[in-house]
Amino acid sequence: MERLWAPWRMEYIGQAREGEDEGCLFCEKPKEGDDEKALIVARSELSFAMLNRYPYNSGHLMVAPFRHVGELEEVEDDESLDMQRLMQRCVKALKEAMQPDGFNIGMNLGVVAGAGIPDHLHWHVVPRWNGDTNFMPVVGETKVLPELTAASYAKVRAAIGT
């Protein structure tokens, strides 16, 4: 796939380099104390929602438990429920903020399945629009996004409330 203008990709690469010695992204980001900088759009009791710096599509966010856990079968019942409820809030907010036609929601367990951070599981919530399939390659090559992450953050954060 052709490389197109992709500022979010540079941001992501820079971020990854800075974060090399910092351990787990999903453990560190909530502790940084600056949710806007961390792209965290919402927190609940046991989990949080954060926009992906390297999104498959505009508004692509991830829902993860605060607890460092990588195996699905080790997630506690209250954490599962908390994440489900937070995902419902996210879907509602994304519908309001971005009017998508549908969603892909799923989890990649293990590096072989595409998990970038296999040790701390997280749900992907990806808004979809009719006709966006041409822009959403499964292999995750660089593509053009209609909206930058900062703009998505402001819209979703406003819609999701506290």
User: Which residues participate in catalysis according to the annotation?
Assistant: 122
CA dist., res. 59 & res. 73, Å (int): 28
Q: Segment near Zn ion (CB under 5 A), from 21-29, 83-91, 92-100, 142-150?
A: 21-29
Among residues 91, 99, 96, 122, the alpha carbon closest in space to that of 109 is found at 122
Q: Segment near Zn ion (CB under 5 A), from 9-17, 23-31, 55-63, 128-136?
A: 23-31
CA dist., res. 75 & res. 65, Å (int): 9
Does 69 participate in binding Zn ion (rule CB under 5 A)? no
**Residue number with CB closer to Zn ion (67 or 95):** 67
Q: Which phi and psi angles does 113 have, rounded to 5°?
A: -90, 0
Does 26 participate in binding Zn ion (rule CB under 5 A)? yes
Does 92 participate in binding Zn ion (rule CB under 5 A)? no
Q: Which alpha helices (DSSP H) does the chain contain, by range?
A: 7-18, 25-28, 35-38, 77-98, 149-160
Residue sitting closest to Zn ion (CB): 24
**Residue number with CB closer to Zn ion (120 or 157):** 120
**Residue number with CB closer to Zn ion (45 or 101):** 45
Does 120 participate in binding Zn ion (rule CB under 5 A)? yes
CA dist., res. 156 & res. 28, Å (int): 22
- Which one of 6, 24, 91, 107 is in contact with Zn ion (CB under 5 A)? 24
CA dist., res. 125 & res. 148, Å (int): 17
Catalog residues that contact Zn ion under the rule CB under 5 A.
Answer: 24, 26-27, 68, 120
